[in-house]
Amino acid sequence: MRVDVLAVGTELLLGQIVNTNAAQIGERLAAAGLDHYHQEVVGDNERRIAEAIRRSVARSEALIITGGIGPTKDDLTREALCGAAGVEMGFDDEFASSLREYWESRGREMPESNLKQAQVPAGAEMIENPKGTAPGLKMRVSGAWVVVLPGVPAEMIPMLERDVIPFLQGEAGADTGVVVSRMLRTWGESESKVGETLGDLFDAARNPTLAFLASAGEIKIRITARGASKEEAVALIAPLEEEVRRRLGPLVFGADDETIEAVVLGLLRERRWTLGNAESMTGGLVGAKITNVPGASDVYRGAIVAYDAAEKEALLGVSHELIEEHGVVSEEVAKAMAVGAADRLDVDVAVAVTGAAGPTAHDGRPAGTTVVAVLTPEALMARTLQLPGDRERVRLFAATGALHLTRMALQGVSWGT
């Protein structure tokens, strides 16, 4: 089944936002074994949206549209869909009532313009939006399926994963088979090195196939198999997964949706150890990542963000003599921050991050220099990393790096990799 993707929004054409939705959808279509050859972007113009829909349904079996279904007057995808399909606009009274109830439950009066979201082209079905109020739409146009999703990625992606991809896979039918993907997640080596280690497997792979994906310092290895049934596809993946894991050893920290923060919390929970942290360059990002995991509170106690050097002494007991001798971006200071955090927060395991986020050098250390220290009941370790990229990227890599080094410390994996 060929699936096209169309993004609607003048802000995309003006370059005010980047079309990440197309990449998110493309990645999931590929994983689902659905063919995808065309992406388009048009602005908030009813005629051009309708023309783009007609172009797609003429060449492909399905089209996923993102954007243009909000409550304001420049949201025109519903109208264009009516135009392309040659149908009238309907209205869903039941959904309109549920919208009113939603606003009332939040103690606010609903602006009438929200009722635009209850408009449904004749013959279209609504797709539930668990993260927002604008429902998606699904309808048949000239023999092809047209699916409309919100432009906001946080709303679009869950609807895509939960409803749209399984639906299109079902429509694609028996010739597609079932495609199952397994993602192994690694940290600590470059993409080229991981690629070389698995090079012969990559060349030999037909079904399952291997793919590499680098994102935010992680290298992911995706194993994708197509089988007549899910069981068959899973069975095809197993031996290749085993071989990949054997070669990569402790570089692999998790699979599929397991984030490093969930892995770290799991390891600590097993041992009944509590966790706290001290931060400087990351300003709270390590704690923010950890606490994004539901149920973190049974392990995680809190953090001290000592952004200013004087706060490192006041809040963490890091002496200014130590800071003067070694500099704030040093393994000595990072270790003292971890020890101070463990003491003040009364936790078993403490992780500390200090560094130069950029854009300029900090305390004589070039931008990107990051020091992580981990204190456990068994050891106190520190490591210096040189991280690439701009300030935002360095901070993100520093926060994830701190979590990865915590994982390695807890599992007794060498930090020298």
Q: For the segment 358-417, give every residue that binds its own copies (CB under 8 A).
A: 358-360, 386, 388-393, 395
Among 87, 96, 183, 322, binds its own copies (CB under 8 A): 183
CB 342 to its own copies: min, Å: 13
Site for its own copies, residues 122 to 141, rule: CB under 8 A: 130-132
CB 326 to its own copies: min, Å: 19
* Residue 158 burial class via C-beta count within 10 angstroms: exposed 0-12, middle 13-18, buried 19 and up: middle
Backbone phi, psi, residue 43, to 5°: -85, -170
Are 151 and 41 spatial neighbours (Cβ–Cβ below 8 Å)? no
Q: DSSP letters along 181-233, please?
A: EEEEEEESS-HHHHHHHTHHHHHH-SSSEEEEEEETTEEEEEEEEEESSHHHH
Q: Which is nearer to its own copies, 91 or 307 (CB)?
A: 307
Q: Which is nearer to its own copies, 224 or 330 (CB)?
A: 224
3-state secondary structure of 406: helix
CB 126 to its own copies: min, Å: 19
3-state secondary structure of 275: strand
Tokens of 330: 């040093």
Which letter, b or e, does each residue of 304-314 get, where b requires 16 or more Cβ atoms within 10 Å of its Cβ?
A: bbbeebeebbe
CB 50 to its own copies: min, Å: 13
Query: What gap in Å lies between CA 300 and CA 276, rounded to an integer?
Result: 6
Among 8, 32, 42, 159, binds its own copies (CB under 8 A): 42
CB 87 to its own copies: min, Å: 25
Are 33 and 169 spatial neighbours (Cβ–Cβ below 8 Å)? yes
Provide the angle, in degrees to the nearest 10, between the axes of the packed helices 391-411 and 260-271. Answer: 30
Among 290, 329, 352, 408, binds its own copies (CB under 8 A): 290
Q: Which is nearer to its own copies, 173 or 388 (CB)?
A: 388
Distances (CA, A) of 313 to 93, 297, 319, 354: 62, 27, 5, 14
Q: Does 181 bind its own copies (CB under 8 A)?
A: yes
Q: Which stretch binds its own copies (CB under 8 A): 17-25, 138-146, 325-333, 373-381?
A: 17-25
CB 69 to its own copies: min, Å: 12
CB 110 to its own copies: min, Å: 8
Are 133 and 147 spatial neighbours (Cβ–Cβ below 8 Å)? no
Q: Which stretch binds its own copies (CB under 8 A): 37-45, 76-84, 331-339, 400-408?
A: 37-45
Site for its own copies, residues 292 to 351, rule: CB under 8 A: 292, 294, 296-297, 300-308, 310-311, 314-315, 344-346
Site for its own copies, residues 74 to 113, rule: CB under 8 A: 74, 106-108, 110-113
Among 14, 143, 174, 246, binds its own copies (CB under 8 A): 14
Q: Which is nearer to its own copies, 13 or 322 (CB)?
A: 13
Among 61, 163, 279, 313, binds its own copies (CB under 8 A): 279
Site for its own copies, residues 230 to 269, rule: CB under 8 A: none
Provide the angle, in degrees to the nearest 10, between the axes of the packed helices 77-85 and 46-59. Answer: 50
Taking CB under 8 A as the rule, which mask of x and - marks residues 184-213 in contact with its own copies? ------xxxx-xx--x--xx-------xxx
Site for its own copies, residues 211 to 230, rule: CB under 8 A: 211-215, 222, 224
Dihedral through CA 394, CA 399, CA 404, CA 407, nearest 10? Answer: 160
Tokens of 191: 């993409």
Q: Does 176 bind its own copies (CB under 8 A)?
A: no
Residues in the chain: 417
Nearest CA to 141 out of 45, 79, 36, 53 is that of: 53
CB 387 to its own copies: min, Å: 9
Tokens of 261: 């923060």
Q: Which is nearer to its own copies, 1 or 303 (CB)?
A: 303
CB 356 to its own copies: min, Å: 11
Among 45, 100, 171, 415, binds its own copies (CB under 8 A): 45
CB 296 to its own copies: min, Å: 8
CB 31 to its own copies: min, Å: 9
75 C-beta neighbours (distance < 10 Å), count: 21
Chain centre distance of CA 228 = 30
User: Ramachandran region of residue 15, left (φ > 0), alpha (ψ -120 to 50) or beta?
Assistant: left
Q: Which is nearer to its own copies, 139 or 224 (CB)?
A: 224
